[in-house]
Amino acid sequence: MHKLKIGIIGATGYTGSELIRILHTHPQADIRLLTSESKAGQKISDIYPTLYGMVDQLLQPMAEVKNHELDVVFLALPHGAAMNFVKDYYDASFRIIDLSGDFRLSSPKVYEEWYGMDHIFPQGFETAVYGLPEMHRARIRQAKLVANPGCYPTASILATYPLVKNQIIAPDSIIVDAKSGITGAGVKPKSATHFTNVHDNFKPYAVKTHRHTVEIQETLSIASGLEATVQFTPHLLPIDRGIIATVYSQPQGEVSEEKIQQAYEEAYADEPFIRLRQQPPSVKDVRGSNFCDIFTTYDARTRRIITVSAIDNLVKGASGQAAHNMNLMFGFAENSGLQQVPINP
């Protein structure tokens, strides 16, 4: 069977190393190129000893892309850097799955407002497909450039999608209270993720200003056909990986527990990575897997719908979802290479 020739650009970050972990055992994947500008010439297993004896490839400079025949390239680069790569290789024969935020939003103008930098390749917005399979499966199959969703947006959108799709809730009533492990901040050390600031601590950050707010808001607006307004507040948990998102929303019209449950069951009946739960999930229920576990209920006393979702931010929130998108783009079984059982404890 023909295997895909794969390049991972920015292989030494958390999402890059997670892609290696997932794709190493994918039956249709052949990792041909791993790049790092700062660690070129070193073995990836010297950076991540978990890969020792399994993936010992040498890291190469990004320019080596030109010397490889690749089918698909994953961009595990920071926002700002990914758009440069897409601009330079947009006409190349390989397809691109971008894990940064550079092409997730509706326009360069919105991007510049929330990311605080100029976008150098606005043409990419014309063809980029937002890579949330549960919403855009058909378009992902045909895409040349897939904008892989953010981790917070994945958890938040999947928690809310059936409600906005069926116009069960007022689109301006959505409040997302989300918590993430520190790997969501990336591999580079920062004062906010220093051990002494995170250990035995818990805090909100980027209140009102987090760039994932607009990603959630735009995607839910598309799903509902109405203009959604989202209040999003992220928090930093003293754990390495995992996200819990608790979403509060206000029904419009008559609603019941049965109607809400039916909306979720119909929306996610055939989804391989959505598990509808009878009790609120924890991060360890999904750790290391591509699952999104969702619990929802209606509180008649407050007339609010409460929905809780749990994902692994590095898998369903990043690299696992990217592998799912690859499977769709190349006609593989959607769960190919993604059947890991969650790790608990």
**Catalytic (active-site) positions:** 151
Name, in order, each residue with C-beta under 8 angstroms of 243's C-beta and a sequence gap of 6 or more.
151, 152, 155, 178, 179, 180, 181, 184, 283, 309, 310, 311, 312, 313, 317
SS3 category, 101: coil
What amino acid occupies position 248? Answer: Y
Pairing of β 243-249 and β 304-311: antiparallel
Question: What are the CA-CA distances from residue 65 to residues 29, 158, 159, 225 (Å)?
Answer: 17, 35, 38, 40
Residue with tokens 């991060």: 283
Which class for 305: exposed (0-12), middle (13-18), buried (19 or more C-beta within 10 A)?
buried
Q: Which helix (H) or strand (E) holds 138?
A: helix 133-142
What amino acid occupies position 293? Answer: D
Q: What share of the chain is helix, strand, coil (3-state, %, to 5)?
A: 35, 20, 45
Question: What are the CA-CA distances from residue 344 to residues 8, 119, 121, 277 (Å)?
Answer: 29, 42, 43, 17
Tokens of 133: 């399979």
First vs last C-alpha separation in the chain: 36
